[in-house]
Amino acid sequence: MLLDSTIDELLTIRYADLQRFSQASPRLRRFLNETEYDVATGSYTRNGQPVPDAEIKQILELEQQRITRQFEDATTEYLDGDITVEEWERRIIDEQKTAGIIAVLFALGGIAFLMSNRNRGVILRGVGDRLRASGKGVSGFGTLLSNGDRSPKRLKAYVRYKARDIRPTFNSVAHEGRKLAGYNEGRRFLDPSVVKHCESCPGYERREWVPIDEIVPVGVDCECAGRCKCWVQYRFNLNREGPLRAIRNTNSLNQQFFN
């Protein structure tokens, strides 16, 4: 089992990591080259038109599939006896870090926009804290493996679950991006197609417009996590206190809605 200090070191996000991991996803690089990120609205456009939310979701889904394959490859090597528990933990944690950084860059328009963001330190510390908590969970699971609990079915289900972390990380950072763009209200809805919701999500629903700080990003602090199907709308309300810069962009802000 990896020591907590080792996990903390592995998951510390440095500028060099941003540069290195920004190259880890050809799909993301291609998307960033083809689109423009509008800081004023916290959203992407292509040829002057908003990028459909479905396209953003598809990219996240494909990235999750890529991460899942990486996790499953490491897990197969461990089950075959080719790597140790500690090596398995390092592989999973390193790929989690890659996924976390990709989520940050995707949510905030790429490395240039992130580095020009005056709140980048707060954002990266928040993501780092999330990654460290997740990394310690991986280490705890590694302890079970060391103690003889090597059920392939359980292990593979666990890594598929961990691969879904990219979604709530993206949603959390994108939520901060909306706040920085000037949105000051939000609504959150349960997906009506879901028959049985997790324990937490019904308490997060806000059908009326509320201050944006009352909105919990989708997949964050809920049992369904990366499988969460709730959705959120954002808007700027001139009558509610908010950043002055947002007042200049009222029309463009209120044209944007996000799931």
Lowest model confidence (mean pLDDT) among 33-37, 146-150, 204-208: 146-150
Task: Name which residue leads in pLDDT, 110 or 8.
Answer: 110
Last residue of a domain, one of 117, 141, 171: 171
pTM of the model: 0.80
The residue among 77, 58, 203 whose CA lies nearest residue 152 is 77
How is the chain split among helix, strand and coil, in percent rounded to 5? Answer: 60, 10, 30
Residues in Cβ contact with 9 at an 8 Å cutoff, skipping those fewer than 6 apart: none
Domain membership flag for residue 37: yes
Last residue of a domain, one of 122, 139, 171: 171
CA–CA separation, 183 and 41 (whole Å): 8
Residue 21 confidence class, pLDDT cut points 50, 70, 90: low
Range of the domain at 56: 4-171
Q: Are residues 155 and 213 in the same domain?
A: no
Q: Over 60: is that where the pLDDT of 246 sits?
A: no
Last residue of a domain, one of 150, 171, 192: 171
Lowest model confidence (mean pLDDT) among 147-151, 162-166, 205-209: 147-151
Q: Are residues 112 and 21 in the same domain?
A: yes
Number of folded domains that form the chain: 2
